[in-house]
């Protein structure tokens, strides 16, 4: 039990002084991965409320008789971004709607969620996580506010550097807000008031109509203001000023128009211009330099605004694609498990039913449908960057040359395929099988973009990135590029922007999944590279696949072959199968038993370890990777401590597996798999174990 006394902060605070509520709440939060501390009294709770506190859990009865004035004062003193949430545990029939006392508490505390007891632990954890996510969004808001303050500071620096004064005029209220520099241009000190009427009065009588006409034109046409005028200072001296402004509409107050702009003292420039007219032309450079300085400063203002807008849009797009990727990866993983059960049972069904043409045709159709589903999940995993890759140094030249015949057969007769490769290229870190699929996808896309014929070109070269690129987060370094270009109908800017989004396609219904380019984009990102597309309507499309250069030598591709089951005897062994999904476990056990093996089934890593500790005869451990409580990787480590020589095979539909550098290098069996693939992997694992 963790108590809080004299300590400020902590992720969550618990103040439930009666019974076992505090212990239970802390236990549930800890199981959910949320750190929490228990407050012994109301003073501890008040002291603990700070910026580091995520939320507080309190009971209704603890608040009824407590003096909440200190807590209310602490909450009122929160920064503008902060709103600490309170989860109030009420008794049945309580809450703010039925209990006026709790309504008072709700008003004092502000951000309150009432949770009626008794409650299910999942409900409590869900409410706690919602409060934690809300607090995290507040922290994000704080970060954004700090960025805005930094931007404002940069803006002030730019104004000072450019000798500019800022001003803002509210058209509806007539209120003028002016900086110290702006006041100085009218001969006023920093502590003197300067309203809009005083500004008009100070403008020279001959220049006042020109200034008013510029303001009126801006209000009517929303055109930017750029006007020069003379200013009569209180001491009677004449000075020149230049004002630049634009009309801004407030987002929160609809219809409220404001003139926002900058001004500068151009008296010196005007004097120079007058001397030039009367004396000589030798001062032209000085005038140009001063004008350029003012223009550049006017542009640390507009460029800063444009940069901020672009950054916000890029952030929104990145967050959207990351959310879609996480959702897609999870769906593909679950779909792989379902396909695993379907394909496994179809394999066994083919052996069990009486062979006739109609039954054989139905089973074959079902298997083909399931295999198409498996191919679709691989594309989904590629987009989500969660597919299992076999990355090693490879030659792009060898890959393209090896696919040349296939690529020529994949294009129409009226399409001319040109392959132009250099003699040598550095090796790239790639998965050659996945890269072949990516190249084939690009070639087919280019072919479909030229229904009336054209030229399809495949080239490769080496490129260098000197600094990280913000558009695709490509790190600085050496890369090789695989380039596929065509002379097809091309894409407009809007289509090009959406081209790599999942399920977006310009093809007719049924002629494309919309996952081809998104799969290639996901593969490139997973290989620490990038996919860059450029296109124009009527001018074709160019796709560049950037892949990081490897320091190693390209490895020759080895195509593994398996002896047919009837030619290679498969020893009958005892297999321990571990999978938390009963449907998958049942299918795997059935396939293994059909192969003649003795099977022991476990539904968790803990259960499997107990079987091994009990001394059961096990020749091979086959375990799913993604399991709650204990993953297949963790189970493998624990099993190796009990039986160091035990062969282990990891089955997964996901890519997040432990690498060899993490201390575990295990053979993997990708889901979904057929019975013959399962048998082949078992033979391979048994052959590789120590004699």
pLDDT digits (tens, 9 = 90+) for 571-588: 889 999 999 888 888 888
pLDDT at position 623 is 93
Listed residue (286, 316, 291, 12) closest to 135, CA to CA: 12
Q: Read off the pLDDT band of 190 (50, 70, 90).
A: confident
pLDDT at position 95 is 54
Mean per-residue pLDDT for 241-245?
Answer: 86
Residue finishing a domain among 279, 300, 321: 300
Q: Is the pLDDT assigned to residue 121 strictly greater than 80?
A: yes
Q: Read off the pLDDT band of 154 (50, 70, 90).
A: low
585/484 same-domain check = no
Is 148 part of a structural domain of the chain? no
Is 339 part of a structural domain of the chain? no
Mean per-residue pLDDT for 325-348?
Answer: 65
- Residue-wise DSSP of 194-234: --HHHHHHHB-TTTHHHHHHHHHHHHHH-PPEEEEEEEE-T
Give backbone dihedrals phi and psi of 467, rounded to 5 degrees, phi first: -150, 155
Is 568 part of a structural domain of the chain? no
Q: Is the pLDDT assigned to residue 22 strictly greater than 90?
A: no
78/183 same-domain check = no
pLDDT at position 576 is 95
Secondary element (H or E) of residue 457: strand 454-465
| Tokens, residue 661 | 């550098």
488/451 same-domain check = yes
Mean per-residue pLDDT for 193-217?
Answer: 90
Residue finishing a domain among 87, 108, 143: 143
Is 91 part of a structural domain of the chain? yes
As a whole number, the mean pLDDT across the chain is 78
Give backbone dihedrals phi and psi of 140, rounded to 5 degrees, phi first: -65, -40
Is 84 part of a structural domain of the chain? yes
531/581 same-domain check = no
89/166 same-domain check = no
525/420 same-domain check = yes
Instruction: Work out how many domains the chain is built from and give that number.
Output: 4
135/166 same-domain check = no
Q: Read off the pLDDT band of 11 (50, 70, 90).
A: confident
More confident position, 247 or 314: 247
Lowest pLDDT segment from 131-135, 453-457, 562-566, 686-690: 562-566
492/396 same-domain check = yes
More confident position, 299 or 618: 618
Listed residue (477, 484, 485) closest to 529, CA to CA: 477
Mean per-residue pLDDT for 549-571?
Answer: 59
Is 272 part of a structural domain of the chain? yes
Q: Is the pLDDT assigned to residue 10 strictly greater than 60?
A: no
Q: Is the pLDDT assigned to residue 447 strictly greater than 80?
A: yes
Q: Is the pLDDT assigned to residue 2 strictly greater than 50?
A: no
Residues 6 or more apart whose CB falls under 8 angstroms from that of 177 comprise: 167, 168, 169
Give backbone dihedrals phi and psi of 549, rounded to 5 degrees, phi first: -70, 140
pLDDT at position 139 is 87
Lowest pLDDT segment from 277-286, 287-296, 539-548, 615-624: 277-286
pLDDT in tens, 472-523: 678 888 999 999 999 988 888 877 776 776 655 665 544 444 456 777 887 7
399/540 same-domain check = yes
Q: Is the pLDDT assigned to residue 367 strictly greater than 70?
A: no
451/527 same-domain check = yes
588/660 same-domain check = yes
More confident position, 430 or 362: 430
Q: Is the pLDDT assigned to residue 290 strictly greater than 60?
A: yes
pLDDT in tens, 92-115: 655 556 666 677 878 888 888 888
pLDDT at position 151 is 58
Q: How far apart are CA 472 and CA 317, in angstroms?
A: 12
Is 374 part of a structural domain of the chain? no
pLDDT in tens, 604-632: 999 999 999 999 999 999 998 878 889 88
Query: What is the domain-level CATH number for residue 429?
Result: 3.30.565.10
Q: Is the pLDDT assigned to residue 329 strictly greater than 60?
A: no
Query: What is the domain-level CATH number for residue 7?
Result: 3.40.50.2300
pLDDT at position 486 is 92
pLDDT at position 233 is 92
129/184 same-domain check = no
Which range marks the domain in which residue 592 is found? 574-688
């Amino acid at each position: 039990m963790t108590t809080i006394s004299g300590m400020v902060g902590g992720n969550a605070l618990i103040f439930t002084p009666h019974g076992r509520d505090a212990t239970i709440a802390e236990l549930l939060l800890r199981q959910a991965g949320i750190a929490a501390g228990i407050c012994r009294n109301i003073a501890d709770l008040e002291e603990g409320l700070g910026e580091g506190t995520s939320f507080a859990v309190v009971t209704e009865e603890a608040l009824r008789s407590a003096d909440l004035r200190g807590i209310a004062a602490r909450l009122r003193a929160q920064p503008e971004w902060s709103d600490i949430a309170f989860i109030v545990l009420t008794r049945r029939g309580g809450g703010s709607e039925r209990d006026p006392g709790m309504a008072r508490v709700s008003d004092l505390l502000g951000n309150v969620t009432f949770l009626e007891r008794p409650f299910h632990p999942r409900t409590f954890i869900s409410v706690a996580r919602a409060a934690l996510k809300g607090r995290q969004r507040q922290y994000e808001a704080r970060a954004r506010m700090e960025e805005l303050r930094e931007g404002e500071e940069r803006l002030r620096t730019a104004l000072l550097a450019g000798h500019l004064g800022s001003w803002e005029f509210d058209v509806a209220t007539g209120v003028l807000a002016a900086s110290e520099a702006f006041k100085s241009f009218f001969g006023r000190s920093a502590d003197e008031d300067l309203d809009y009427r005083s500004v008009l009065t100070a403008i020279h009588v001959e220049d006042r109509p020109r200034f008013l006409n510029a303001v009126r034109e801006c209000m009517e046409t929303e055109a930017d203001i750029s006007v020069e005028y003379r200013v009569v200072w209180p001491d009677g001296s004449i000075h020149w000023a230049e004002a630049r402004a634009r009309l801004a509409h407030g987002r929160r107050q609809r219809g409220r128009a404001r003139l926002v702009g900058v001004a500068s003292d151009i008296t010196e420039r005007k004097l120079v211009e007058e001397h030039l007219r009367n004396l000589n032309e030798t001062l032209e450079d000085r005038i140009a330099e001063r004008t350029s300085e003012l223009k550049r400063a006017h542009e640390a203002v507009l460029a800063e605004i444009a940069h901020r807008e672009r950054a916000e849009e890029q952030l929104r797009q990145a967050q959207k694609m990351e959310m879609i990727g996480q959702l897609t990866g999870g769906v593909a993983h679950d779909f792989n498990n379902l396909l695993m059960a379907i394909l496994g049972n179809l394999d066994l069904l083919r052996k069990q039913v009486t062979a006739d043409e109609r039954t054989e045709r139905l089973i074959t159709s079902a298997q083909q449908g399931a295999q198409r589903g498996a191919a679709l999940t691989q594309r989904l995993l590629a987009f989500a960057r969660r597919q299992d890759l076999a990355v090693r140094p490879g030659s792009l030249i060898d890959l393209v040359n090896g696919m040349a015949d296939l690529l020529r057969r994949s294009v129409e007769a009226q399409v001319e395929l040109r392959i132009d490769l250099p003699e040598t290229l550095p090796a790239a870190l790639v998965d050659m099988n996945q890269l072949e699929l990516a190249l084939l996808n690009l070639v087919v896309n280019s072919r479909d973009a030229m229904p009336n014929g054209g030229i399809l070109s495949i080239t490769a070269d080496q490129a260098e990135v000197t600094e990280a690129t913000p558009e695709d987060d490509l790190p600085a370094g050496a890369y090789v590029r695989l380039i596929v270009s065509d002379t097809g109908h091309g894409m407009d800017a809007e289509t090009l922007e959406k081209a790599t989004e999942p399920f977006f396609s310009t093809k007719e219904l049924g002629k494309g999944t919309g996952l081809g380019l998104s799969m290639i984009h996901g593969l490139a990102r997973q290989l620490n590279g990038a996919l860059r597309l450029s296109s124009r309507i009527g001018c074709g499309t160019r796709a560049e696949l950037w892949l990081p250069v490897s320091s190693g030598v390209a490895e020759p591709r080895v195509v593994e072959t398996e002896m047919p089951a009837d030619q290679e005897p498969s020893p009958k062994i005892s297999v321990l199968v571990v999978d938390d999904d009963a449907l998958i476990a049942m299918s795997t056990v059935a396939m293994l038993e059909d192969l003649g093996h003795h099977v022991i089934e476990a539904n968790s890593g803990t259960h499997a370890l107990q079987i091994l500790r009990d001394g059961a005869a096990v020749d091979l451990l086959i375990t799913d990777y993604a399991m709650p409580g204990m993953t297949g990787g963790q189970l493998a480590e624990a099993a190796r401590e009990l039986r160091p020589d035990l062969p282990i095979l990891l089955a997964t539909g996901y890519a997040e597996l432990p690498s060899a550098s993490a201390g575990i290098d295990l053979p993997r069996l990708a889901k979904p798999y057929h019975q013959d693939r399962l048998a082949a992997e078992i033979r391979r694992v048994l052959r590789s174990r120590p004699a």
